[in-house]
Amino acid sequence: MPKRFNITGVCIPELHYMVNIEKRIDRIVRDYITNGSYFTINRARQFGKTTTLYLLEKRLKEQYTVIRLSFEAADELFRSMEIFARGLIRNIRRELKLQGAAPALIDAWSQPVSSEFPFHDLSDRITDLCTCNAKKIILMIDEVDKSSDNQIFLSFLGLLRNKYLEQQQQRDATFHSVILAGVYDVKNLKLKLHPGEESKYNSPWNVAADFTMDLSFRPDDIAGMLAAYENDCHTGMDIPAFAQWLYDYTDGYPYMVSRLCMLIDEQVAGSDDFPLQKDAWTKEGFLKAVRIFLQDSNTLFDDVVKTLEQYPLLKDRMKDILFRGTRYSFENSSPIINMGVMFGFLKNMDGSVAIANRIFETKLYNLFLSEDELASASLPESWDGKNQFIVHGMLQMKLVMEKFFEYFVEICGNADEKFIENEGRRIFLMYLRPIINGAGNYYIEAQTRDRTRTDVIVDYRGQHFIVELKLWRGDAYHKRGEQQLLSYLDYYNEDTGYLLSFNFNKKKQTGMHEILLDGKKILEVVV
């Protein structure tokens, strides 16, 4: 069976093109398993947690008895303590059979549980199992956060914690190591509880070691996966460049990397514009995959929408960052920032809070702009007249800027400085989005985004357009902005850039002006 890229369930090296994480598995064994640590792998959704557990289990099976469970679709376990104890015994019995445990040991483990003291009985059963089994036992539980706000689950964590402490004092025998995996950190359960519910600030999982390993993919990790694909398919792709593009857009988010590769392989290749595989594995094919991905309905983006509806304060702060250029200092002990990092939406960039990657950023822009459009009584004229901006398949960016000037003067001519500071970039992006939608991408250069300026990078059918948006802050600041724009034009090998200045100087000269600077042309629109 030929290999393919995979985005559902477990990635299996024999079946799927995937990043080689053997060194990370070795490090987990060395730093956590060997010394008997209890820990939680809490990462954002579809971040490779289940695949990590699968490969870790394979690595450990020779030396340990590994019991790997999942609380996915296990709601019935949490109806009572007795049902939980009975269900856990049943599930572990199945794992013991798969591991080839002694029949007598399995029979002893499987005896009926006490209805009066089910957790005491479960505790004794764990002691006997770990004492009599020939190998040390490791317990892995995936999707633990499905019920991490359930009191029965907290009681189970308390049981594991007490046995861990007792074993350290040589007063009990229990699992050598326990690994929990999920989105929420069960050491900080208050984040799982919704408004109106009683806050729980203490978790019985405070014996757990901090799991600090980075599970995201670096460019060299991605290059290794692409090399395996190239060895089979011979597309002639530029592997280092392609790996860097994937990293630049995803920041190494595992699902995003695999999804983009899958789209190129299965949807872009063979399409009218990219009939052959070698045509698809190019920069243009990559950008086509990005457009498909952003328009896709998938479980990751569905979770984004659902999470933002559940946590409106997080949504508001992300809008501040995107549209107003607000800079929040990164403080992980802040519940809102911690939550955004936990879900994979936010990251620490040079001490400030930033959106985690370009894919999330563009998706969030599109989501928030779409909400604004639906709430608006009227849409920008670019919705009705978008065809005028595309000539022979090429985007006429100069015309976009000219028409935006007319639109802005009409709707915002009397707006004050505070309004423009808060709403300027949102208005421009709302105007731009329908023009390039379906054939182009845009993203915001995170390094330059703040309250006073931002750089919008537009990709349209292989064309690159760099548009700097800025508030007027004097001549010196203006010249620094021009130099920054020139550096981007050099980077993208472009001769023309665009500057949109929101200027409140009473002596300003509005309209479009052409500036020649160091052999480059800058078209400046002043409003």
Given the structure tokens 């002990």, which residue do they identify? 333
Higher pLDDT pick, 54 / 78: 54
Instruction: With a cut of 50, say whether residue 314 has pLDDT above it.
Output: yes
Nearest to 49 by CA among 224, 205, 179, 228: 179
Report the alpha-carbon distance of residue 352 to residue 364 in Å, rounded: 19
Residue 490, Cβ density class (10 Å: 0-12 exposed, 13-18 middle, ≥19 buried): exposed
Instruction: Out of 216-230, 352-366, 476-490, pick the least confident.
Output: 476-490
- Kindly state the average pLDDT of the residues 292-305: 92
The confidence band for 451, taking pLDDT boundaries of 50, 70 and 90, is low
Instruction: With a cut of 80, say whether residue 157 has pLDDT above it.
Output: yes
Cβ(41)–Cβ(49) under 8 Å? Answer: yes
Q: Which tokens go with 440?
A: 């182009």
pLDDT score of 194: 45
What pLDDT, in 10s, does the model give residues 180-221? 999 987 766 544 444 444 444 456 788 999 999 999 999 999
pLDDT score of 242: 98
CATH of domain 20-192: 3.40.50.300
The confidence band for 447, taking pLDDT boundaries of 50, 70 and 90, is low
Report the alpha-carbon distance of residue 65 to residue 97 in Å, rounded: 11
Report the alpha-carbon distance of residue 401 to residue 498 in Å, rounded: 8
- Kindly state the average pLDDT of the residues 149-175: 92
pLDDT score of 138: 98
Report the alpha-carbon distance of residue 145 to residue 184 in Å, rounded: 6
What pLDDT, in 10s, does the model give residues 330-385? 998 898 999 999 999 999 999 999 999 999 999 999 999 999 888 876 667 666 66
Report the alpha-carbon distance of residue 110 to residue 89 in Å, rounded: 7
Higher pLDDT pick, 485 / 438: 485
pLDDT score of 192: 46
What pLDDT, in 10s, does the model give residues 378-403? 667 666 667 889 998 899 999 999 99
pLDDT score of 381: 66
pLDDT score of 440: 87
Give the chain's mean pLDDT: 89
- Kindly state the average pLDDT of the residues 148-167: 88
- Kindly state the average pLDDT of the residues 412-429: 78
Q: What is the pTM of this model?
A: 0.90
Helices 239-250 & 283-295, crossing angle to 10 degrees?
A: 30
The confidence band for 492, taking pLDDT boundaries of 50, 70 and 90, is confident
Beta bridge partners of 498: 467, 523
Query: In sequence order, what DSSP letters do the residues of 137-188 get, joined into one string?
Result: EEEEEESGGGGTT-HHHHHHHHHHHHHHHHHHTTS----SEEEEEESS-TTS
pLDDT score of 193: 40
Given the structure tokens 């995996």, which residue do they identify? 181
Q: Which tokens go with 450?
A: 């703040």
* Cα pseudo-dihedral 82, 84, 86, 89, rounded to 10: -140
pLDDT score of 425: 84
Domain ranges of the chain: 20-192, 219-296, 387-527
Report the alpha-carbon distance of residue 281 to residue 269 in Å, rounded: 8
Report the alpha-carbon distance of residue 430 to residue 411 in Å, rounded: 13
Q: At residue 233, what is the residue type?
A: C
- Kindly state the average pLDDT of the residues 488-499: 89
Cβ(181)–Cβ(47) under 8 Å? Answer: no
- Three-state SS at 209: strand
Tally of CB atoms within 10 A around 174:
24
Alpha-carbon separation of residue 312 from 35, 175, 195, 360, 368 (angstroms)? 42, 40, 11, 17, 13
- Kindly state the average pLDDT of the residues 209-236: 96
Report the alpha-carbon distance of residue 515 to residue 517 in Å, rounded: 6
pLDDT score of 444: 85
pLDDT score of 471: 79
The confidence band for 490, taking pLDDT boundaries of 50, 70 and 90, is confident
Instruction: With a cut of 90, say whether residue 31 has pLDDT above it.
Output: yes
**Which ranges constitute the DSSP H helices of 413-474?**
417-436
Report the alpha-carbon distance of residue 342 to residue 40 in Å, rounded: 13
Instruction: With a cut of 60, say whether residue 443 has pLDDT above it.
Output: yes
Instruction: Mention every residue, 6+ apart, whose C-beta is less than 8 A from residue 195.
Output: none
